[in-house]
Amino acid sequence: MDKCLILTTGRTGSDYLQACLDNVPGVMTFCGKFAYYKFCSSIKNFDQQDPEIIFNKFIEKFENIFTYYELENKKTDLNLIKFKKIFIQEISKVTLSKKSFLENLYISYHKTMERNVNDVKVLVHHTHVVDETRKFLSEYPESKMLITIRDPRANLKSGIVNWFDYDKERIGIDHVFRYLKRVREDLNFALKTPNKKLFVKLEEANEIKTKEEICSFLNVKFHENIMISTFASKIWSGDKLSKFKAKKGEFMNEVKDNKWQDFFNDRDKKILNLLYKNYSKFGYNIETTNFIDRLLMLLNSFLPLSFEKKTFNEFKKGYKKVIKNSYIYFKRVLYLYFVIINVR
């Protein structure tokens, strides 16, 4: 059985992609993403533990993906008694390891959903972030990679605005800097990996041609189920951050254009074009930065971007906040400086 992972580069539709693969014959998925290797690192001497104890800890840790996950707006209601019974049966057939535990979670979930495991050609695991991806690739170095991307400026706007609208506690320079950096660095990581990979553009995610390419990449036949997003065979309408809801699991065309052009000012756009120049490889209209623009950026790299200014109220919440946010802003200044002089 082949292995494939899904890596996102921000708010780029990785959950949507996983949901579309939920019921495709030949593909083995799960009812949500979970930080598997982070979980494993919390268990000392993993390979020497009782599998049932680890399973119980796993269910406790990630209970929301099996029941109701408010943030991701998913209600799966998986039969956990049946799931556990099948898992204990399956894991008893092999030697316990991180790999065998993970693979048998998938097999047991698939059987719990009464799906055919005999025709499975590929296991698709949603690693989501770079750290989990690295660890998955260390276990499965031949794994294929599905990487979801989006116009980086639309991605950045969504990562800032949608999160801030949903959770006011996130409003701060810390979140902005992490997202500004992530949109760039996650793509650069993906580009450097030697694995077979397919980049899936959010703007084209619902096109028949794209869905056919995904199926061909996974070596499975195209099936109409890939056009509808579900988890545990239940319609998924999108997470709580999404501005538009897909009541029938359909793709929402409104996400193709989130009016990022009106959100950023001219200076922002020039800097973002430099930061995200590698996205031009995928047909995004990223203007090249000339020498004069780069020089001006170098001279004023310490000045805040328009969207950063909106977080500066955090600096007024006591000296501890001032120190923390000043330190993070200093890191942002250095990051931009090193990008401009082409060190990073």
Q: Helix, strand, or coil here: 252?
A: coil
| Domain positions in the chain | 2-255, 264-340
Model pLDDT, residue 315: 59
Confidence of residue 25 (pLDDT cuts 50, 70, 90): very high
Lowest mean pLDDT among 62-66, 214-218, 224-228, 238-242: 238-242
Average pLDDT over residues 230-244: 86
Separation of alpha carbons 336 and 344, rounded Å: 9
Best CA proximity match to 147, nearest among 106, 199, 110: 199
Best CA proximity match to 149, nearest among 186, 196, 179: 186
pLDDT (tens digit per residue) in 39-88: 999 999 999 999 999 999 999 999 999 999 988 888 999 999 999 999 99
Residue 184 structure tokens: 């760039």
Q: How far is CA 245 from CA 109, 205, 236, 293, in A?
A: 27, 16, 9, 40
> How many other C-beta atoms are found inside a 10 Å radius of the C-beta of residue 71?
11
Q: Helix, strand, or coil here: 6?
A: strand
The owner of tokens 């793509």 is: 187
> How many other C-beta atoms are found inside a 10 Å radius of the C-beta of residue 235?
16
The owner of tokens 């990008």 is: 339
**Is CATH 3.40.50 correct for 2-255?**
yes
State yes or no: pLDDT of 313 exceeds 80: no
Contact 158, 11 (CB under 8 A): yes
State yes or no: pLDDT of 10 exceeds 90: yes
- The whole model's pTM is what? 0.94
With a pLDDT cut of 70, the percent of the chain lying above it is 98
Model pLDDT, residue 317: 65
Residue 343 structure tokens: 């060190």
